[in-house]
Structure 1
Amino acid sequence: MTDQLSIQSANRRSMAAPGKRKRLRNFLAFFHGNMSAKIGFGVMAIVMVACLMAPWVAPYDPQERVARPHVEPSAEHIFGTTRQGRDIFSQILYGGQASLAVAFTAGAISTVISILVGISAGYFGGRIDQWLNFVMNVVLVFPQLPLLIVLAAFLGQVGPIVIAILIGVTSWPWGARVLRSQTMALRQKEFVLSAECMGESRIRIILVEILPNLISIVAGSFVGVVMYALINEAGLEFLGLGDPTSVTWGTMLYWAQSSAALYTGGWWEMIVPALTIALVGGALALINISIDQVSNPKLKTGAHIKRWRRLNRDIQAKRLRGVS
């Protein structure tokens, strides 16, 4: 009996291995000839690893006064110090943990809501589509940034977790509308109609037949919300609506503005976190562009465009031979 179980487990592992290798090849093929993906993912990987390694890489505690106020960048303090004498390099690393956590949490919340609402509205139709579409339109009516400012001001000085929830529950309608329209198009495809004729449950059709065909749209929506959340989290905290005792890239900008860093000559206190946010936002934008280039044939570049040009030439040659 034991030998039979071991043989069955070995067979399962051998069957799963080709699938893992295929997924790995597909992931690596995403970067082939896609310079935007290489740069974007490379920058994000460096930033995320550096922030995760902050307890071992950062030379000082981010809240500790370690030098005189506004010490210029030097070998001891790479990015200088703040008006309170805190090391900016250490704050960048520790602050990145909170800021990126807020951005990715908001992106996950928004993506889950947009998937549930968008696919449900597009697949079920009827009254469900009418009510969900009405909710989407109502949320879209309110401008998101002023709405976030009002909510944050109403709740008081909110922490990073509350900011992530606020951004996540207010930024889902755009992604939901796109998923709704794409689901309505897939709803009439042959493979979906065949699954319905075979008696497959609606939940299985949504999860197995429809959702895998929307992965590129879901990924693009997620990256877009992450970029939006990163910028808006910094904006809310810069306005003083966040928790000033927490160390994030937004609170760094808030304290730099409060201490008039640009006017007193301590430009590095304001410029360093601002450039960091711009760098990460640019990397996320490149990732989003790379996803569009792979999922949309009209935007394919690099090695992909050569393949598509060759395919178009073959199609044109077949048409000419058919006419002749």
Structure 2
Amino acid sequence: MSSTVAVKEKNKNLNKEGSFLNSLKEFFEVIWGNKMARVGFIILGIFLLMAIFGHMIFEEPKSNYLARLKAPSAEHLLGTDYAGRDILALFINGSRAVLLVAFYAAVFSILFACGIGITAGLLGGKTDSILMLITDIVLTMPTLPVTMVLSMVVNVTNDVLFGLVLSLWSWAGLAKAIRSQVLVIRNKDFIEASRIMGISTFNIIIKDVVPNIVSFIAINFISIMKGAIMTSVSLMVLGLVPFEGSHWGMMIQMAMSQSAVLYGGIGPVVYFLTPIMGIVLFQLGCYLFANGLDEAMNPRLRKQ
């Protein structure tokens, strides 16, 4: 008897694994079938690979003031910066910090938004009123100026803390949107059935609510990363974040503060434009990828 139960349990686990693999396969098939999403996926994939493996291939360049602000050449494909460091190596090494900060900002924002939005929508009553009051207060505050003040108060020393600072004022709009989504589905039959069966609120959220809004969350995750990159770069350009390394915002800030752009010539221009073009390409990749993300994660939207 015990062996029969074990076999059934094993088959059940294999079916779950097969179902997951099939879902993953369908996801990438939909993404690849959407031309815009395919291009976006390739662009984001290149940035991701660059952030993960770039520092293994390109070591952090050392200063060489005798070769400062050189034009692109066979030795330095994008030229050198004000300290004679290879710009391509700086750009590739900096991508890691850029994407990590944006990733942490998006994770914290999603956690705050989901926690507040789902709780408010599912429980309702006074809990809903209090949470939405807090959310409305955050929404009335201008994001960039408040983040600027906060970044000056908090000593930002690492990627996680920087991401947390960026997330504190970027979750409110998403929280209200998630609450609206939950209000639509909280009276559905499957939610009522779970309540009647005595399933805990936590399990209802994990098993019934989240799967129905996961595509919405995924799209907003990409959007928050886009915004976080722009905000982090802006803070560094303004010199409000004492962040070390080769973050793209630091590259732009140093290009301007060291008057490299004013020297003239191809070298300084490439130095200034390289991180800007990186930001533009990443933003474009996010936009294109998000174009097919909802369709890929929501089978009801797929074309027959």
Distance 1:27 1:78, change over 3 A: same
The yes-or-no answer on 1:36 pairing with 2:36 is yes
Segments of 5+ residues of structure 1 without an aligned counterpart are 308-324
What does 1:59-70 align with in structure 2 at a 5 Å threshold? 60-65=59-64, 68-70=67-69
1:127: which partner in 2? 126
Distance 1:184 1:244, change over 3 A: closer
SS in 2 for 1:240: coil
What does 1:89-238 align with in structure 2 at a 5 Å threshold? 89-155=88-154, 159-238=158-237
Q: Which moved more, 1:277-286 or 1:159-168?
A: 159-168
Distance 1:135 1:244, change over 3 A: closer
- The structural deviation recorded for 1:244 is 5.1
2:270: which partner in 1? 268
Higher relative contact order, structure no. (Cα contacts within 8 Å, ≥ 6 residues apart): 2
Task: Find runs of 4+ consecutive structure 1 residues off by over 6 angstroms.
Answer: 1-6, 295-298
* Structure-1 separation of matches of 2:299 and 2:16: 31
- The structural deviation recorded for 1:142 is 0.4
Q: Quick check: 1:50–1:57 contact (8 Å CA) kept in 2?
A: no
- State the Cα deviation string for residues 140-174 of structure 1 (Å, max 9, x = none): 01010111111112335655433211111211011
SS in 1 for 2:151: helix
Specify the code of the residue in structure 2 equivalent to 1:149. Answer: M
1:19: which partner in 2? 19
SS in 1 for 2:78: coil
Specify the code of the residue in structure 1 equivalent to 2:273. Answer: I
- The structural deviation recorded for 1:107 is 0.3
Q: Quick check: 1:159–1:242 contact (8 Å CA) kept in 2?
A: no
- The structural deviation recorded for 1:72 is 0.5
TM-score calculated relative to the size of structure 1: 0.85
* Structure-2 separation of matches of 1:55 and 1:158: 20
* Structure-2 separation of matches of 1:3 and 1:193: 37
SS in 2 for 1:70: coil
Q: Quick check: 1:156–1:241 contact (8 Å CA) kept in 2?
A: no
Segments of 5+ residues of structure 2 without an aligned counterpart are none
1:51: which partner in 2? 51
Specify the code of the residue in structure 1 equivalent to 2:287. Answer: A
Match of 2:291 among 289, 292, 309: 289
Count residues in correspondence. Answer: 301
Structure number with bigger Rg: 1
TM-score calculated relative to the size of structure 2: 0.90
- State the Cα deviation string for residues 224-245 of structure 1 (Å, max 9, x = none): 1111101111110011112253
SS in 2 for 1:71: coil
Aligned CA RMSD, in angstroms, stands at 2.6
* Structure-2 separation of matches of 1:296 and 1:21: 16
Identity among equivalent positions (%) equals 28
- State the Cα deviation string for residues 86-132 of structure 1 (Å, max 9, x = none): 11111111111111000001000000110100000000000000000
